[in-house]
Chains A and B, each alone.
Chain A
């Protein structure tokens, strides 16, 4: 199996466009996933009876195969980017919700009580004390969700979208390995770069965790 480098050279524009479209789908899904899971996690953290229900529900959603989720959404949103993003968002929820709840759980009760004793209102405690302290665990979830989404975008190629996944269909139909190799390598690269970027973001967001040398 040899790589046709001239094909790569001729298709740099296509590869760039597909990579951008791929990243857009994955990142939109993760962003939506974070926006949805944050309030749900607070509810699951504060109201015990709802905790099992919410976590259980997200687990069941995770058991549904990705191709099935995309297909099941077809009657709702058709062969569009929306279907891809909704499907991926559903997938991110299980990781994001579980990690955010665990993160909030990991904040020591004494810290919350200290904040309360200083007269801080619950919402402010949540935003300025609990979330920042839970951030490392939440970010671990965001990293997993991002890498997973980047890999899953290509499944949406079956419903006509799918960023770099289109290279797999193309290579398969023409019995031509080069685009497939390019697609796999670019997907892995995207995942590595996105993961590193999130590590850097976490470093910036948690200055108190940096020890002075």
Chain B
């Protein structure tokens, strides 16, 4: 056990492991690229949807059920299915990652919107604000903390799941996990897993820091 961790440490810090097309630096960049792009696409779909449902109050049923559907859908199965249907490309991976992230974003955005007190919205309307003004200037800013929580949750899940890109022969940090499993090289497997976990934790901390910076006036 001790020896394993010693080897793991050596694997993580060796310069040769970090460079080259199979190096950690390159795999890390790929992993971040998959994760960030997928989360951005998911946000582009999920945010307007959640805002619309929250603002109009229509389709709440969809928003609530989307959440449990998203939790129940097996991502691995989805990747393989899109892969078999559409052939070898990054498309299956992005489809699966976006499908994973959209429900988290929609439901949290919707939850944030419904948490805005009706009196506040009435007051805004009473001051002569139009529908879109209420949405953008009142509801959205008040819902932002929960929206950010949804984005963080989505990003963590996407970073974790981007590992499966390697399953359908693409890059990212999952490469070490799957290659290591195939080669019975536990050190490499653990190295990959530790790196993915580290990326998830660091990104989450970064976003929570950003959130605290954006909302610093609230605590003052």
4 extra A-B contacts, CB within 8 A, seeds A65-B163, A195-B68: A147-B71, A165-B74, A167-B77, A184-B74
Are B68's CB and A147's CB within 8 A? yes
User: Which residues of chain B have C-beta atoms less than 8 A from A203's C-beta?
Assistant: none
**Which of A75, A150, A176, A180 counts the most B-chain CB atoms under 10 A from its CB?**
A180
Contact with B73, one of A68, A180, A181, A184 (Cβ below 8 angstroms): A184
Are B84's CB and A188's CB within 8 A? no
Q: Which partner residue on chain B sits nearest A73 by CB separation?
A: B193
Q: Which stretch from A30-38, A102-110, A126-134, A151-159 is at the chain B interface?
A: A151-159
- Contact of B181 with A by CB under 8 A: yes
Are B72's CB and A65's CB within 8 A? no
- Tell me how many residue pairs across A and B have CB atoms closer than 8 Å: 125
Give A contacts to B, CB under 8 Å.
1, 60, 62-69, 71-72, 74-75, 144, 147-148, 150-151, 154-155, 157-159, 164-165, 167-168, 171-172, 175-177, 180-181, 183-184, 187-188, 191-192, 195
Are A68's CB and B163's CB within 8 A? yes
Are B74's CB and A154's CB within 8 A? yes
Are A65's CB and B196's CB within 8 A? yes
Are B201's CB and A63's CB within 8 A? yes
State the majority secondary structure of interface residues on B: helix
Are A183's CB and B204's CB within 8 A? no
**Which of A71, A154, A155 counts the most B-chain CB atoms under 10 A from its CB?**
A71
User: Which residues of chain B have C-beta atoms less than 8 A from A154's C-beta?
Assistant: 74, 76-77
